[in-house]
Structure 1
Amino acid sequence: MARSGNAGSSRRDRRKRSGGPSSGPAAGRPSVSAEGAIIIFAKAPVPGTVKTRMCPPLIPDEAASLHGSLVMDAVERTRSLRGFDVFLACTPGMDHPFFQTLAARHRIRLCDQVGEDLGQRMDHALTAAFTRGYAHAVIVGTDIPNLAARHYERATALLQTTDVVLGPTEDGGYYLVGAKHPVPALFADIPWSTGEVLTQSLAGAERAGLIVGLLDPERDLDTFDDIRAFLHNDAGSGRLSTRTGNVLHTLIQRHGEASPG
């Protein structure tokens, strides 16, 4: 198991690394317009399929409204970035009207998520990015209201000296994964949707001899109590979009303060 370290630090396995990072786009690969790829993993905001752990007290329509706002935040906050092409990896499919509207409004590309579980889907997305010729790629979810350009910039900086970058969440998962070559070992045999995701991912990275860098931890929004905690602790940071802030405050007004735990 890889030892825990400070945020932003790197981890080096004591054994000799097996193989090195890719040196750049291989000959014959399709040309790309940027060095890096940002891949936003997103579900369509269909009531009853998103933010289900918030229901109750939320009703499915409210949960879907919040989810849709968070997806839009994730896309909009990539607009100021330079050096990245942005992809929206969609489920159930990129033909959903929500995704088509986002693609028309913003300069992003759509693709489908491919794989049986989250690990397979992330592995496929990263491998596809490197096949296209990107030198590094970052995958993010849509549950972090404070996700900002600084996260991508710090991840890119860490990838200069690491194989993998992870952004831990406070519940034991991670909100961001970046790499500069395929890392299938990072996604193998992980108990997804549990508090062991980060720990087991770090252990897999250590077994594979991968150097891992860590970003600062962030709070994700999975439960109604997460909304309460976020508004109490983080909303004053100034990084919350007006749209999502209004949604969160409306939900608190409607349903009251959720009891801790």
Structure 2
Amino acid sequence: MTTLLVIAKEPRPGRVKTRLTPPYTPEQAAALAAAALTDTLRAVAAAPASRRMLVLDGRPGPWLPPGFDVVPQCAGGLDERLAAAFAACSGPALLIGMDTPQVTPELLTVEPDGCDAWFGPAEDGGFWALGLAAPDPALLRGVPMSRSDTGAVQRARLVAAGLRVRDLPPLRDVDTATDAEAVAATAPHGRFAAELARVRGERARAGVRR
């Protein structure tokens, strides 16, 4: 069975989802990040796994469900931090971030039958999921992150290593306010959608007062 990893930042104002500000305040952006992380961890908790790990920059909060091993992120760029997360795994592993609260347990249910890697492309050109049947940190080190071609470069790295890659459905990351609206519409019953509705109401009330 697969180890499921989530790499995340503690949702503190000013440290997460800064591209949501504006229109949202840092506190509202952090609340949306916490909701996205809550939905993500719930999906991971409901998916079959041999181990569940939260690779965290910061401290755990009330959004953390039971059953997760919490390990700190290492120093360095995102490629180094992702590589280190895989280095902690001894068998098949699938890693996701905290930016896709619409993810489901079904999407995370993967088996290494007939493939060596799983790749989940993000609509912005990155990737929302990366899985390796035999984790090799070298497959991630040096991949340029946070670019429109990050996903293409990472997938090409897998193919160049001779791995058989199975593609997962593309998902949209929550980076901007437009992304937030679109993602909430695809998962209207999640914590993220509820928090977005609350924040919308908060902003509307503030507008009336002004």
What band does the TM-score fall into relative to the shorter chain? 0.7 to 0.9
Match of 1:141 among 97, 103, 118: 97
Q: Which structure has the higher relative contact order (CA within 8 Å, separation 6+)?
A: 1
Residues 230 and 71 (structure 1 numbering): CA distance in 2 closer, same or farther, change over 3 Å?
closer
CA–CA separation in structure 1 for the residues paired with 2:48 and 2:116: 22
CA–CA separation in structure 2 for the residues paired with 1:149 and 1:48: 30
Cα offset, 1:185, TM superposition: 4.1
Give runs of aligned pairs for residues 153-168 of structure 1, distance below 5 A: 153=109, 156-157=110-111, 159-168=112-121
When normalised by structure 2's length, the TM-score is 0.88
**Letter matched to residue 119 of structure 1:** D
Cα shift readout 1:124-152 (whole Å, capped 9, x = no counterpart): 1112111xxxx311111111121111111
CA–CA separation in structure 1 for the residues paired with 2:67 and 2:159: 37
1:222 aligns with 2:175: yes
Q: Which has the larger radius of gyration?
A: 1
Which residue pairs with 2:69 in the alignment? 109
Q: Which runs of 5+ in 1 are unaligned?
A: 1-34, 257-261
* Contact kept? 1:185, 1:204, Cα under 8 Å: no
Cα shift readout 1:181-201 (whole Å, capped 9, x = no counterpart): 123343133221111111111
Q: Which runs of 5+ in 2 are unaligned?
A: 205-210
Residues 54 and 215 (structure 1 numbering): CA distance in 2 closer, same or farther, change over 3 Å?
same
Match of 1:125 among 81, 85, 99: 85
Match of 1:57 among 6, 20, 23: 23
Cα offset, 1:97, TM superposition: 4.8
Cα offset, 1:170, TM superposition: 0.5
1:245 aligns with 2:193: yes
* Contact kept? 1:144, 1:218, Cα under 8 Å: yes
Give runs of aligned pairs for residues 174-253 of structure 1, distance below 5 A: 174-232=127-185, 234-235=186-187, 240-241=189-190, 243-253=191-201
**Relative to structure 2, which stretch is displaced further, 45-54 or 245-254?**
245-254
Residues 82 and 229 (structure 1 numbering): CA distance in 2 closer, same or farther, change over 3 Å?
closer
When normalised by structure 1's length, the TM-score is 0.72
- Percent identity reads 28
* Contact kept? 1:188, 1:204, Cα under 8 Å: no
Match of 2:7 among 19, 41, 52: 41
CA–CA separation in structure 2 for the residues paired with 1:209 and 1:83: 26
CA–CA separation in structure 1 for the residues paired with 2:99 and 2:164: 26
CA–CA separation in structure 2 for the residues paired with 1:78 and 1:228: 23
Aligned pair count? 204
* Contact kept? 2:47, 2:106, Cα under 8 Å: no
1:89 aligns with 2:55: yes
**Letter matched to residue 123 of structure 2:** E
Which residue pairs with 2:207 in the alignment? none
Which residue pairs with 1:74 in the alignment? 40
